[in-house]
Chain A
Amino acid sequence: GDSVTQMEGPVTLSEEAFLTINCTYTATGYPSLFWYVQYPGEGLQLLLKATKADDKGSNKGFEATYRKETTSFHLEKGSVQVSDSAVYFCALSDRGLTGGGNKLTFGTGTQLKVEL
């Protein structure tokens, strides 16, 4: 079945440092890929997405490129801020429901802590 593997956290960085959170996936079809962010006490918010190979998703300074050859979708940001502290989830969407719809398969999440 489909699966998503993320680097374990927590990742602790100083403000303005470069961020990379690794994500690799296994899927039988051609999934869409997503990064979601979860702030303390809140639900998930979509950060960015990419729908086909070589697509780059970007939002709020975060970027991730859909790499089919390495089955990866690593999240990057050039300069993190304290406000970026949250848990980041990589996810894929692959049609597989009996009724024809799709579901999200998530990684275990990577906690990011940004310090001054």
Chain B
Amino acid sequence: AQSVTQLDSQVPVFEEAPVELRCNYSSSVSVYLFWYVQYPNQGLQLLLKYLSGSTLVKGINGFEAEFNKSQTSFHLRKPSVHISDTAEYFCAVSVKTSYDKVIFGPGTSLSVIP
């Protein structure tokens, strides 16, 4: 069975500092990996995804993530955060069945401190 672990439930970081949000997954089949962001009082929106090819994936708002198959990780990074990055971040894996079944991690709450 597939599962997603986000080890940090809350990450406080000062504005303009770098940040890394950790994600590990387990799966016995090929997986497709996502990061979604949820701003306050909104639904989730896609930040970036890895399907195949280059293991370094660039997304919106200056975020990037690196797929590491040997460590079963897909950590999200940003070199310099802004106040507007304060949000909940969800790592997810997708497995192809009759539809795209997506399994979400528990989320990491990023708080950017001015």
Q: Do A and B bind each other?
A: no
B contact residues vs A (CB 8 Å cutoff): none
